[in-house]
A and B are shown apart, each in its own frame.
Chain A
Amino acid sequence: MGIDSQSHLRRLENESIHIIREVAAEFDNPVMLYSIGKDSAVMLHLALKAFYPSKPPFPLLHVDTTWKFQEMITFRDYTVDKYGLDLIVHTNEEGVKNNINPFDHGSSNYTHIMKTEALKEALTQYKFDAAFGGARRDEEKSRAKERVFSFRSASHGWDPKNQRPELWSLYNGRIAKGESIRAFPLSNWTELDIWQYILAEGIEIVPLYFSAKRPVVERDGTLLMLDDDRFRLEPGEKVEQRDVRFRTLGCYPLTGAVESTADTLEDIVSEMLIARTSERSGRLIDHDSSGSMEKKKREGYF
């Protein structure tokens, strides 16, 4: 399915490519956060386009919490191999040593240690001065407020009340040593745009997005998949095989599946059109309190 050169998706594509190139041109040591999900898939595709026929002049960074779906890891390695990219995998070893896990430590604690802390650790260790993230403004209300070049202090904090004005397509990439920016090339995309673009461009994504019979348990109204034998069942819970898929991917014990039989991209987009809940509702981390995403971002979460 071709897209016309002045269409909405092309406009978004052109804007994102412009942003990705600005970061590559203005920073010494950028990195692209690669979370393996659909937004990362689109962001990577855009990066490949931005520098073609060169390869993207930066590595990918995957923060591995050790609790990702196995299929995500397989897909990650397949993709990196296919395009011949540099991949850095970083895990909070301290957290692993202390056996930090989503069951014993609660979703918010666990996420803080294995994701936020691990990410900060990696950014500091490799001295990255810019990091691309695939966040979109339509995901969440504090993200709707965030700049494309989002400034971070030396301790990776975000100060939402004091953002640099960002006019036209002029991004201010000046930082002092130790400071950094997060760059969000997909800021103006919506979830539907992402799916339509994946469809139009034939972008490969993790099979978990497509419906299949998978072992799940229902817990507090959320369907959780048993991806390996580390999953702890609570008394009375029983495992069922159901037709489910994921709208968003993260750590398997924290990511809710939706019941669906959509097993093609076309079906997924059609399903999207009648969806009545937003995609982040599948992520347990956002439910804690209404300011929770902003708080996490201020602490350095992506």
Chain B
Amino acid sequence: MNKIAPVAEAFDLSTYINSQESKSFLRFLTCGSVDDGKSTLIGRLLYDTKLIFEDQLAALEKDSRKHGTVADEIDLALLVDGLEAEREQGITIDVAYRFFSTEKRKFIVADTPGHEQYTRNMATGASTADLAILLVDARNGLLTQTRRHAFIASLLGVRHVVLAVNKIDLVDYDQKRFEEIKAEFESFSSGFDFNTSEVIPLSARFGDNVTTSSEKLSWFNGPTLLEHLENVELGEEHSEAAFRFPVQWVNRPNLDFRGYSGTVRGGSVNVGDEVVVAQSGKTSRVEKIVTMDGDQVRADDGQSVTLTLTDEIDISRGDVLAPAHSRPDVSDQFAAHLIWMSENAMLPGRPYLLKCGTKTIGASVTEIKHKVDVNTFDHHAAKQLALNEIAFCNLALSEAIAFDPYEANRDTGSFILIDRMTNETVAAGLIWFGLRRATNVHRQALDVNKKARGGLKGQKPAVLWFTGLSGSGKSTIANAVEQKLLSLGRHTYLLDGDNVRHGLNKDLGFTDADRVENIRRVAETSRLFVDAGLITLVSFISPFKAERQLARDLLDTDEFFEIFVDTTLEECEARDPKGLYAKARKGEISNFTGIDSAYEAPEAPELHLKTAGRTVEALADEIVDRLLKDGYIGSDNTWVI
């Protein structure tokens, strides 16, 4: 459908494209304390490298009049602060990714927020960066947030840093002030593991020494910021790393083809290489490396391909393929740094989901070894972690996974933690080393108990005890509640006459003694189900207070939720769904509750449901709403599927 270009024209273009394609590539971020000029600096870089189109410039001029922070000039920060809230408040809230290129390099830059509250967004930007530009305001020098960002960047494996001493115009381009800050930074950063570190004075607002050197900084012999970005030597990442291939998707178009799709994360692989499924230890050889552009003989780091193997072995998403001679660690426990990113504190023992590579499993922190003070880098003991805190921890997983130390491989050594109830990403993790059973002493926090089992389902196990006359609607309502809970992804079980009386309790009749024994067994059974982590619905007439009290006493506080299904005897008798009242009245059944046996109504049930004039649907909703409100299950937008 596309037309063919004249030869001469295509020639020029292809030279151009080749030159584009052979450019090297740098991902960097700007970070540092609030208002130090990060967004302005990116705006300046985009502006000076002519990446701003005419219509965008016109919009910027208009925006600057409305939101600008710099009197009547254009406010370059508005090129990157794209959210309404950011423009109104004049601060950056979330990371912005921008792209620009020069003759020498292509760049992806992440502009990150300086505000402490949004530190996690800075970590997001840093996780994929090769270089960090750490900004300081020349008037203020290094601040707490500058140190925190330097620490996070270094922790996340950013190996190149530039300290940009910004707003140098505001200290009259003073060399002495620059040297002071430089000295302070050098002594502070010597503790970090940066491969290159450069200190550059500049003014983002006025453009001095950003893309062109400045008369006013004639005392400075170093490069402009852009020169440095274009020329800094990065070194090959992952080049010596061992081959790693986390399987994303099993590719089965038909019975004759079984491939494993994924992205090479480190090293490379050739057709014929022996590979092992790290978790199971099964080995095979690479038969083909399949792509839509034809089979390859080799796949390199970063390539997304599909592998087929010479043997049929069991492999699924989450498995990691690796060379048999250079395997990743496989363990269900490891030590890692955690950057906590949620307003809800991290508590050891609480169950989270962990995603590492393509594997998602249950995990919890068994021990906080120490918390890091971002100012002094001292270690402190801690019982929990709050928003933006960083700690070194031991984690235990619900099954063994394959991983590498983060230092060896940023992809197979990193993970995130996800809250089971809210589904938020609550932490970023960097693995240091696996903990083997021999070296592993503590497991107590991971005791498998009802809390852990319930946590697995995102619920607080409990008994919903429905009591009321025969025909009052207990089972119908309990069924409707169970339906609703199921559709919310909750794990429930319903005990009622149908499944208990005919099995476990079929030896029992309807004498008072048998009724008591009946309820005792039901109570014990429901206790086991609660221990198994389930929301257990019990639907029995259970006419006597004492037995209901017995059931209540078997369970912990909050685990027994009594629901009085209150329908008048007249109404029940009028409904008489099973014809039992009629029989009882005729004397064909004896000991029938409400007729010739007492019903002792609950005095203080957790929920008193008056059914008159209400639909089953409404009654069931009332119960589910209460469960949400009382925290037995997560709220509307926080349930787990």
The chain A residue with its CB closest to the CB of B111 is A144
Q: How far is the CB of A168 from chain B (nearest CB, A)?
A: 5
Contact flags (1/0) for A238-264 with B, using CB distance below 8 Å?
000000000000000000000000011
Please, which residues of chain B bring their CB within 8 A of the CB of A277?
53-55
CA distance A177 to B355 in the complex (A): 20
Tell me the complex Cα distance, A144–B5, Å. 34
Q: Which of A161, A177, A205, A273 contacts B2 (CB 8 A)?
A: A205
Q: Is the CB of B99 within 8 A of A138?
A: yes
Interface string of B66-89 (1 = CB under 8 A from A): 100000000000011111110100
Contact of B99 among A3, A166, A172, A190 (CB under 8 A): A190
Complex CA distance for A199 and B5, rounded to whole angstroms: 11
Interface residues of B in 355-377 (CB under 8 A from A): 355-356, 358
Residue pair B21, A141 in contact (C-beta under 8 Å): no
- Chain A residues, Cβ within 8 Å of B249: 21, 24-25, 51
A5 pairs with B300, CB closer than 8 A: yes
CB atoms of B22 and A22 under 8 A apart = no
Q: A145-B95, A160-B85 are in contact. Are A270 and B428 (CB under 8 A)?
A: no
Question: Is residue A6 contacting chain B, with contact meaning CB distance below 8 A?
Answer: yes
Closest chain-B Cβ to A286's Cβ sits at a distance in Å of 10
Per DSSP, chain A at the interface is loop
Scan residues 280-337 of chain B and give those whose CB is less than 8 A from a CB of chain A.
290-293, 300, 302-304, 306, 317
In the complex, whether A213 has a CB less than 8 A from a CB of chain B is no
| Segment with Cβ contacts to A, from B118-126, B443-451, B544-552, B573-581 | B118-126
In the complex, whether B251 has a CB less than 8 A from a CB of chain A is yes
State the CA gap A277–B52 with chains docked (Å): 8
Find residues 75-112 in chain A having any chain B CB closer than 8 Å to their own CB: none
Is B489 on the interface with A (CB-CB < 8 A)? yes
Instruction: Looking at the assembled complex, report how far the CB atom of B208 sits from the nearest CB atom of chain A, in whole angstroms.
Output: 26
Interface residue total, chain B, C-beta cutoff 8 A: 93
Given contacts A21-B248, A276-B53, contact A144 B98 (CB under 8 A): yes
CB distance from B147 to the nearest CB of A (A): 21
Partner of A176, one of B54, B411, B641: B641
CA distance A172 to B426 in the complex (A): 11
The stretch from B56-64, B131-139, B517-525, B587-595 touching chain A is B56-64
Task: Looking at the assembled complex, report how far the CB atom of A1 sits from the nearest CB atom of chain B, in whole angstroms.
Answer: 6
A291 / chain B contacts, CB cutoff of 8 Å:
84, 87
B488 neighbours in A (Cβ, 8 Å):
177
**Residue from A54, A176, A207, A276 within 8 A of B252 (CB atoms):** A54
Question: In the complex, which residues 3-36 of chain A have their Cβ closer than 8 Å to any Cβ of chain B?
Answer: 3-11, 13-14, 17-18, 21-22, 24-25
Report B39-61 CB contacts with A as 1/0, cut-off 8 Å. Answer: 00000000000000111100100
With A11-B302, A51-B251, A290-B62 as contacts: A210 and B2 at CB distance below 8 Å: yes
A236 to B252, alpha carbons, bound, how many Å?
62
User: Does A25 lie within 8 Å of B3, measured CB to CB?
Assistant: no
* Any B CB within 8 A of the CB of A235: no
Task: Judge whether A73 is part of the interface by a CB distance below 8 angstroms.
Answer: no
Interface SS, B side = mixed
Could you mark each residue 215-237 of chain A with 1 if its beta carbon is under 8 Å from any beta carbon of chain B, else 0?
A: 00000000000000000000000
**Interface-lining segment among B158-166, B184-192, B396-404, B412-420:** B412-420
State whether A4 and B21 are in contact (beta carbons under 8 Å apart), knowing that A144-B98, A160-B85, A176-B640 are contacts in the complex. Answer: yes
Closest residue of A by beta carbon distance from B489: A177
Whole-angstrom CA separation of A200 from B20 in the bound complex:
13
Binds A, one of B9-17, B172-180, B468-476, B563-571: B9-17
Judge whether A167 and B124 touch: CB under 8 Å.
yes
Determine whether A188 belongs to the interface, using a CB cutoff of 8 Å to chain B.
Answer: yes
Assuming the A-B contacts A177-B489, A177-B639, are A55 and B253 also in contact, with contact meaning beta carbons closer than 8 angstroms in the complex? yes
How many residues from A make CB contacts under 8 Å with B? 80
Q: Which residues of A sit under 8 angstroms from B87, Cβ to Cβ?
A: 290-291
Q: Chain A residues with Cβ under 8 A from B94's Cβ? A: 145, 160-161, 163
Q: Which residues of B contact A163 (CB under 8 A)?
A: 94
Task: For residue B440, give the distance in angstroms from its CB to the closest CB of chain A.
Answer: 26
Whether A290 and B59, one on each chain, are in contact in the complex, defined by CB atoms closer than 8 angstroms, is yes
Is A145 touching B424 in the complex (CB atoms < 8 A)?
A: no
Specify which of B1, B59, B83, B257 is in contact with A207 (CB 8 Å cutoff): B1
Contact B20 A8 (CB under 8 A): yes
Would you call A154 and B637 a contact (CB within 8 A)? yes
**A70 / chain B contacts, CB cutoff of 8 Å:** none
The answer to whether residues A53 and B83 also contact, given A165-B124, A264-B3 and a CB cut-off of 8 A, is: no
B271 within 8 A of A: no
Inter-subunit contact A294/B83 (CB<8 Å): yes
Judged by a CB distance under 8 angstroms, whether A120 is at the interface is no
The closest CB in chain A to the CB of B10 belongs to: A266
- With known contacts A8-B21, A24-B249, A175-B423, A50–B98 Cβ distance under 8 A: no
B21 and A5 contacting across the interface, CB-CB below 8 Å: no
**Residues of chain B at the chain A interface (Cβ within 8 Å):** 1-5, 9-10, 12-14, 16-17, 20-23, 25, 53-56, 59, 62-63, 66, 79-85, 87, 93-99, 106, 108, 120-121, 123-124, 127-128, 248-249, 251-253, 257, 259, 261-263, 290-293, 300, 302-304, 306, 317, 341, 353, 355-356, 358, 410-411, 414-416, 418, 423-425, 428, 487-489, 634, 636-641
> Besides the contacts A14-B263, A50-B261, A142-B83, what 11 more A-B pairs have beta carbons closer than 8 Å?
A14-B302, A51-B249, A141-B80, A144-B98, A165-B428, A174-B418, A177-B487, A290-B63, A290-B66, A291-B87, A294-B83
Which residues of A pack against B, CB within 8 Å? 1, 3-11, 13-14, 17-18, 21-22, 24-25, 48-55, 137-138, 140-145, 153-154, 160-161, 163-170, 172, 174-177, 179, 187-188, 190, 196, 199-200, 202, 204-205, 207, 210, 263-267, 269-270, 273, 275-278, 281, 290-291, 294-295
The 7 sampled A-B contact pairs (Cβ below 8 Å) are: A6-B300, A25-B248, A52-B306, A140-B82, A160-B93, A269-B17, A278-B56
